[in-house]
Amino acid sequence: MGITVLIICFALFIADPHDLIGTLIENLWLIGMIVALFGLAVLIALIWYRKGYVYKYVLERGWIKVDRNYVPMSHEMVVNERIGSHIDLKTVSYIRLDKDTDSISMRGFLLLTTIYADKNEIDHVYQLIKQECVNLKGEK
C-alpha cells in the first residue's frame, strides 16, 4: 500500500512539480480511498482466513514444493503458482522442531513458514528437511 501511495505521489509530482503540496491536498481523497480499500481488504482477509489455511508440501531434492492437487484455489495459491511454489532449502538459515504442535518452523531470506506433519512422522520429516538445509546458522 505504501509503495502504491508513493507511486501516486510521484505521478502527481510529475504532473505539477511546482506545487506538490497543493496537488497532494487536492488529491488527498485518492490516497484516502486507497488506504480505505487496503484496510477493507485486510479486514476481509482476516475474517476469511481466521482459522488459517493449509498447503500440502512435497519434499524434493533441495526444494519443498507446494503440491497443486491438494491446495484449495485461492488468490495466494494463484500467485504462488506463478512464482513456482517452491521453497529453496539453500535459503533456509534457521529450522526448529516443535513437538507440541507437530510443526517445523523455517526462516531464511524472504522466507518465514511453518510445516506441519503427523505426530508419528514429524521427527523423520524434520531430519529430511534439515539434511537438505546446507546454510543453517548455529548448530547443524
Strand order in the sheet with 63-66: 57-60, 63-66, 86-88
* pLDDT 10s digits, 17-69: 888 788 778 888 888 888 899 889 888 878 877 766 566 677 777 777 766 54
- Side-chain-facing half-sphere of 97: CA atoms under 13 Å: 14
pTM over 0.75: no
pLDDT of residue 53: 59
Question: What mean pLDDT do residues 71-100 have?
Answer: 68
